């Protein structure tokens, strides 16, 4: 068994994690459900996980499935695997029992880690996989089943840190490989500054409310750890808990997905509650200009939108505070400019680059992949102006062709969300024998508000063309969403296909 304290063979990201965990062991690291855990407690379980990964797999590049939840023990498990040089295979235990069991069976993993409850419910205790259960940081992990070691299926592709599930917005989630180098560039900066770790922990407390089964959650946790910054880990976004954490710890910056931002916007919170915050970053899904500006008007806080994807390993464009102060009035609605060494361009149907302000499919060279990265074709339609500011106009794979007219679902969604009773909306296409496709919409209302499909249709008639107006608007208690907070368009589509039955 390799010595887990020997960092000489680790990737710089693993070394950074080990260095930070050893800095001030008695200092608080993570607050979860009102209880603080120290860096030393985090290090204890992380180191034990590193030992177990080495003992029950073939070592470096080993594939380790983790039934991830937002708890300190799961954070320690993730850090331990990265210190071992392994590959975290993200398993979402909240996708539904049958789908999760099928996912695990198809992955054929040498090692699986999860809580007792998740393992008992979701994992078939077969001899092929070693199964380890975790609970709190102070409780030693338990080997429930010892599987084979050294089989060919153990190893991931070179340098893969995380075998990540995408959000599955438009269909079943797919898996994307995030390399150690991509993660390190995202959370530690350019290669040239990887040489030395911080000599002391950072002041201040961050708030992590993104799920660890999403790249945003993993990124935020690793960013905090690599900087040596303590953080509050919320099990999920909860307005009350989030507001309490903001009032208690007074962070200068917070990150909210559009759904959460709208919850804060339409809450009873005041500018005094959020007085410490200097900027809110917002990504994962489009945010309307109206919501961004309403948030700033109510709280006096600029909203810095960004453009990111799991495949990119993080953000590739966004607003800086300086850009927002200088350009927002003239560039409102943009997602900002390229960041972190990324390059973006719009291309036509044949792949030819387009000029400033010409709309086309976006292609990206993420800075996280280095200067030799190929252009990655997205499904997003966008335009880039002469100053490098980028506007996302919709998704080419979601366009609804209604009798020859193109309907962009985001245009309809944003129009619906301008109604004062609407908390959120999702728009999809439904097959139609005469027109090919027709738009249909699902709407979630704000607490205490009422409306109906007739009123919403009348509202849309003032904003949209006739062919853009949905033929059916379903008002529901809650729109089904992915772990990242995006509308689950597959579930929305099934709702209409089954006549409103739960999918």
List pLDDT tens digits, range 252-280. Answer: 999 998 888 989 999 999 999 999 999 99
Q: Measure the CA–CA gap between 182 and 169, rounded to whole angstroms.
A: 23
Amino acid 167: pLDDT: 63
User: What one-character-per-residue DSSP string does 367-382 give?
Assistant: GGG-TTPPPEEEEEEE
Report d(CA 316, CA 182) in Å as an integer.
12
d(CA 207, CA 201): 16
Is the pLDDT score of 478 beyond 90?
A: yes
Assigned token pair, 75: 């954070």
Q: Do the Cβ atoms of 430 and 453 come closer than 8 Å? A: no
Residue 58 lies in a domain: yes
Burial zone of 5 (CB within 10 Å; 0-12 exposed, 13-18 middle, 19+ buried): exposed
Q: Tell whether 337 is covered by a domain.
A: no
Cβ atoms of 93 and 235 closer than 8 Å? no
Number of domains within the chain: 2
Residue partners of 99: CB distance under 8 A and separation at least 6 = none
Nearest to 42 by CA among 56, 28, 60: 28
Q: What percent of the chain has pLDDT over 90?
A: 61
Residue 73 clears pLDDT 70, i.e. is over it: yes
- CATH label of the domain that carries residue 443: 3.30.300.30
Chain centroid to Cα 9, Å, comes to 30
pLDDT of residue 168: 54
pLDDT band per the 50, 70, 90 thresholds, residue 147: confident
pLDDT of 7 reads 44
Confidence of residue 4 (pLDDT cuts 50, 70, 90): very low
Mean pLDDT across the chain, nearest whole number?
A: 89
Q: Flag the least confident range among 33-47, 162-176, 210-224.
A: 162-176
Residue 2 pLDDT > 90:
no
Least confident of 84-88, 389-393, 432-436, 496-500: 496-500
pLDDT at position 173, please?
Answer: 67
Looking at the predicted structure, is the pLDDT value of residue 194 above 80?
no
Residue 397 clears pLDDT 90, i.e. is over it: no
The CATH number that applies at residue 174 is: 3.40.50.12780
Specify if 346 maps to a domain.
no
User: What tens digit of pLDDT does each residue of 451-476 get?
Assistant: 999 999 999 999 998 889 999 999 99
> Does the structure show a pLDDT above 80 at 243?
yes
Q: What is the pLDDT of residue 487?
A: 87
Backbone angles phi, psi at 398, to 5 degrees: -110, 0
State residue 35 phi and psi, 5-degree precision: -115, 130
Asked whether residue 169 carries a pLDDT value surpassing 80, the answer given is: no
So what's the pLDDT on residue 153? 58
The total of other beta-carbon atoms located within 10 Å of residue 204's CB is 14
d(CA 145, CA 153): 18
Answer with the one of 193, 227, 256 that is the final residue of a domain.
Answer: 193
Min mean pLDDT across 70-79, 150-159, 412-421, 445-454 is at: 150-159
Q: Is 196 in contact with 20 (CB distance < 8 Å)?
A: no
428 C-beta neighbours (distance < 10 Å), count: 25
439 vs 395, higher pLDDT: 439
Instruction: Report the DSSP pairing between strands 253-255 and 230-233.
Output: unpaired
Token pair belonging to 452: 């109906």
How far is the C-alpha of 28 from the C-alpha of 299, rounded, in Å? Answer: 30
**Per-residue pLDDT at 140:** 94
In angstroms, rounded to a whole number, what is the distance separating the alpha carbons of residues 124 and 114? Answer: 13
Query: Model confidence at 449, in pLDDT bands (50, 70, 90)?
Result: very high
Least confident range of 31-40, 352-361, 392-401, 477-486 = 392-401
- Is it the case that residue 170 has pLDDT exceeding 70? no
Cβ atoms 291, 417 nearer than 8 A: yes
Say how far apart CA 96 and CA 172 lie, in whole Å: 13
Distance (Å) of CA 462 to CA 407, 445, 466: 16, 20, 10
Contact predicate 282/303, CB 8 Å: yes
**pLDDT of 174 above 80:** no
Res. 18 pLDDT band, cuts 50 70 90: very high
Query: What count of other Cβ atoms lies within 10 Å of the Cβ of residue 418?
Result: 15
Question: What residues contact 46, with CB distance under 8 A and at least 6 apart?
Answer: 17, 21, 76, 77, 79, 80, 83
What is each CA distance from 41 to 16, 136, 259, 423, in whole angstroms? 17, 10, 34, 41
Lowest mean pLDDT among 75-79, 95-99, 260-264, 489-493: 95-99
What is the mean pLDDT of the segment spanning 400-422?
88
Domain hosting 440: range is 399-497
More confident site: 372 or 338:
338
Domain-embedded: residue 408? yes
When pLDDT is cut at 50, 70 and 90, the band that residue 415 belongs to is very high
Q: Report pLDDT for 5.
A: 45
Burial of 127 (0-12, 13-18, 19+ CB in 10 A): exposed
DSSP-derived secondary structure letter, 101: H
Give dist(CA 6, CA 501) in Å, integer: 56
Asked if residue 420 belongs to a domain, the reply is yes
Residue 333 has pLDDT above 70, yes or no: yes
- The residue-averaged pLDDT of 106-129 equals 89
Residue with more model confidence, 12 or 394: 12
User: Cα 285 to the chain's mean position, in Å?
Assistant: 10
Q: What's the token pair of residue 119?
A: 């393992």
The pLDDT value given to residue 166: 74
Residue 273 lies in a domain: no
Q: When comparing pLDDT for 68 and 400, which is higher?
A: 68
Domain boundary among 168, 193, 218: 193
Question: Please, which residues have CB within 8 angstroms of residue 204's CB and are 6 or more apart in sequence?
Answer: 229, 230, 249, 251, 252
d(CA 361, CA 395): 8
Nearest CA to 231 among 261, 260, 210, 262? 210
* Sign of the torsion angle spanned by Cα atoms 75, 181, 282, 223: positive
Q: Mean of the pLDDT values across residues 420-441?
A: 90
Task: Return the structure tokens found at 306.
Answer: 């960004």
| Number of CB atoms found within 10 A of residue 503's CB | 13
Domain limit, last residue, from 193, 212, 233? 193
Task: Establish if 290 belongs to a structural domain.
Answer: no
Residue 430: inside a domain? yes
């Amino acid at each position: 068994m390799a010595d887990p304290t020997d960092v000489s063979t680790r990737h710089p990201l693993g070394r950074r994690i080990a260095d930070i965990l050893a800095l001030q062991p008695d200092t608080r690291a993570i607050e979860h459900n009102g209880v603080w855990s120290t860096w030393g407690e985090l290090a204890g379980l992380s180191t034990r996980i590193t030992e177990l990964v080495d003992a029950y797999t073939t070592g470096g590049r080993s594939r380790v499935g983790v039934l991830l939840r937002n708890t300190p023990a799961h954070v320690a498990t993730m850090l331990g695997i990265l210190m071992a040089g392994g590959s975290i295979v993200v398993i979402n235990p909240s996708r539904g029992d049958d789908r999760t069991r099928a996912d695990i069976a198809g992955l054929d993993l040498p090692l699986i880690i999860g809580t007792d409850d998740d393992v008992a419910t979701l994992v078939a205790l077969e001899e092929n996989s070693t199964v380890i259960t975790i609970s709190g940081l102070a409780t030693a992990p338990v080997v429930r089943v010892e599987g084979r070691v050294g089989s060919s299926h153990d190893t991931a592709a070179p340098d893969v840190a995380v075998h990540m599930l995408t959000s599955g917005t438009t269909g079943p989630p797919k898996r994307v490989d995030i390399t150690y180098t991509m993660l390190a560039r995202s959370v530690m900066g350019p290669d040239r500054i990887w040489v030395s770790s911080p000599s002391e922990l950072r002041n201040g407390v961050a708030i992590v409310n993104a799920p660890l089964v999403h790249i945003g959650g993993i990124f935020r946790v690793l960013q905090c750890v690599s900087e040596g910054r303590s953080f509050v880990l919320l099990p999920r976004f909860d307005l009350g808990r989030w507001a309490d954490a903001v009032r208690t710890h007074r962070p200068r910056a917070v990150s909210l997905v559009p759904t959460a931002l709208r919850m804060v916007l339409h809450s009873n919170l005041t500018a005094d509650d959020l007085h410490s915050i200097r900027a809110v970053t917002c990504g994962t899904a489009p945010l309307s200009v109206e919501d961004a500006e309403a948030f700033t008007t109510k709280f006096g806080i600029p909203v810095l939108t960004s453009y990111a994807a799991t495949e990119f390993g993080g953000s590739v464009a966004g607003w800086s505070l300086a850009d927002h102060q200088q350009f927002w009035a003239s560039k409102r609605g943009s997602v900002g400019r390229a960041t972190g060494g990324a390059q973006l361009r719009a291309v036509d149907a044949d792949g030819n680059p387009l000029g400033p302000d010409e709309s086309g499919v976006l292609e990206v060279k993420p800075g996280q992949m280095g200067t030799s990265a190929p252009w990655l074709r997205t499904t997003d339609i966008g335009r880039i102006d002469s100053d490098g500011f980028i506007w996302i106009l919709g998704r080419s794979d979601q366009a609804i062709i209604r009798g020859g007219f193109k309907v962009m679902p985001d245009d309809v969604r944003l129009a619906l969300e301008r109604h004062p009773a609407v908390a959120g909306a999702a728009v999809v296409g439904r097959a139609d024998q005469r027109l090919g496709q027709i738009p249909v919409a699902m709407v979630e209302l704000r607490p205490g508000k009422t409306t109906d499909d007739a009123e919403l249709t009348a509202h849309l008639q003032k904003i949209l063309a006739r062919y853009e107006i949905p033929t059916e608007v379903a008002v529901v208690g809650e729109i089904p969403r992915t772990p990242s907070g995006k509308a689950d368009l597959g579930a929305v589509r099934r709702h209409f296909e089954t006549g409103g039955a739960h999918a």
